[in-house]
Amino acid sequence: MKIIVFVNEFFGAWGTARGGYGFLARKLLPKALQVDCKDITFCLGRSKKLFWSENQYSEEGFRLVKLPKLRFVAAKIVNEFDVVISIEATVDYLFSLKDRLDKKIIFWIQDPRTKKDWDEIETVNLAKEPSYWNDKTYNLVRYCYDLGKIKFVTQAYFLKGKAIELYGISGGGNNISFLPNPVEIKYSISSLEKKNMIIFLGRLDSVKRGWLFCEIAKNLPNYEFYVLGASTNHTEENNNSILNDYVMLKNLHFLGHVDGSEKEQYLKNAKILVNTSIHEALPVSFLEAFAFGITVVSNQNPDGLVAKFGRYVGPSLGDGWDDVPKFVEAIDCLMRDECKRMQLSLEAENYVRRVHDMDNFKSNFMKILSRNV
């Protein structure tokens, strides 16, 4: 089975960003599908060449391509694959090939941002997040769907309504299948030796509002806080100027981008993950936290999971300064009640093993393929 995945980032490869989509594509999807490097290709966009693809290979041996500018040539290449997956509409060039495709696209809903979502994101004033709202792309997706060229699947139930609104999906979402993101579960959390560590995991973009994590650390000097992530190019100057006010805090540690065994060690040791984002779908970082026995504290509550397995502090708009006390209280209560925190962690571990396990993902994916490809 030959698979091509359309995604606009590959976690640092070919100069792309180190975001959630890229992590999902590079670190999780091949393992979950149990495929060799030669059997899966990742398309990162359109080439500058008319007739020829541009190609690179990642360190792991995955083939990365950018398709030729001529659509009939690009479509011919795509049609050589057995399975076509699009992670959201991140490579909109795929949908411009609509009439020439003889394969149905498995459109994996990850974070369909509606106008309401963008309105909320724009309430942040301290550092602005660039908007990628694109009517042309959404109309292309809608047209492909009307042609019967798309099968929608979603990583979270609450995203169905957003996708229906954004892409004009008919049938009230009954034709959208549930395909939860996979996560690697390596340990039984009862075997992990936890420390009084609190982490932030993700890019330091304005939408993440990392300054709130720093302010929380300032208000809880008895605990150690670790920032695992770095700014992307378009936000680096703004975010660094804001975060520089906190670099002298003795209990706050900026680690930059971490990956592999180094990242895993922090996940094994941490007790709490704090998420302060103005907007989230269901981030992979939440699933990783659950798999490592880390309790999540956040103002986001995708599919009700944070309220169920962590501490949901309620909605938070704007720059978020007024909501810092709610985070501080939630974190302090959990750190003082290890029995409760451990109970929540065990329940979260049971959830990810039941819903997000790699083997379950492959089984669910193959069922979707058998009905649609």
Sign of the CA dihedral with 233 first, then 237, 238, and 243 last:
positive
Contact 268, 284 (CB under 8 A): no
Nearest to 293 by CA among 223, 352, 337: 352
**Angstrom distances, CA of residue 144 to CA of 164, 167, 247, 364:** 14, 10, 49, 24
DSSP-based helix, strand, coil % in the chain, nearest 5: 45, 15, 40
Where do we find the tokens 């984002």? 277
State pTM to two decimals. 0.96
Where do we find the tokens 């390596």? 186
pLDDT attached to residue 145:
95
Compute the distance between CA of residue 45 and CA of residue 54 in angstroms, rounded to an integer. 10
pLDDT of residue 162 exceeding 60, the answer is yes
Question: Dihedral (C-alpha) 140, 146, 148, 153: value to the nearest 10 degrees?
Answer: 70
Residues of the chain with CATH 3.40.50.2000: 3-182+357-372, 189-355
Rounded mean pLDDT of 285-299? 98
Bridge-based pairing of strands 63-67 and 54-57 is antiparallel
pLDDT attached to residue 234:
56
Query: Which of the residue ranges 181-195, 230-244, 294-308 would you say has the lowest mean pLDDT?
Result: 230-244
- Reported as a single tens digit per residue, the pLDDT across 78-95 is 999 999 999 999 999 999
Compute the distance between CA of residue 205 and CA of residue 196 in angstroms, rounded to an integer. 26
For helices 135-146 and 159-167, angle between their N-to-C axes, nearest 10 degrees:
90
Strand pairing partners for 46?
67
Count of Cβ atoms closer than 10 Å to residue 1 Cβ: 12
CATH code, residues 189-355: 3.40.50.2000
Compute the distance between CA of residue 161 and CA of residue 163 in angstroms, rounded to an integer. 5
Residue 165: CB partners within 8 Å, gap ≥ 6? 112, 114
| pLDDT over 90 percentage in the chain | 90
pLDDT attached to residue 186:
92
pLDDT attached to residue 170:
87
Question: Dihedral (C-alpha) 368, 10, 168, 145: value to the nearest 10 degrees?
Answer: -50
Contact 290, 309 (CB under 8 A): yes
pLDDT of residue 140 exceeding 70, the answer is yes
Q: Tell the CATH topology of 3-182+357-372.
A: Rossmann fold (3.40.50)
pLDDT of residue 305 exceeding 90, the answer is yes
Contact 156, 303 (CB under 8 A): yes
pLDDT band at 23 (very low <50, low <70, confident <90, very high): very high
Where do we find the tokens 């026995």? 293
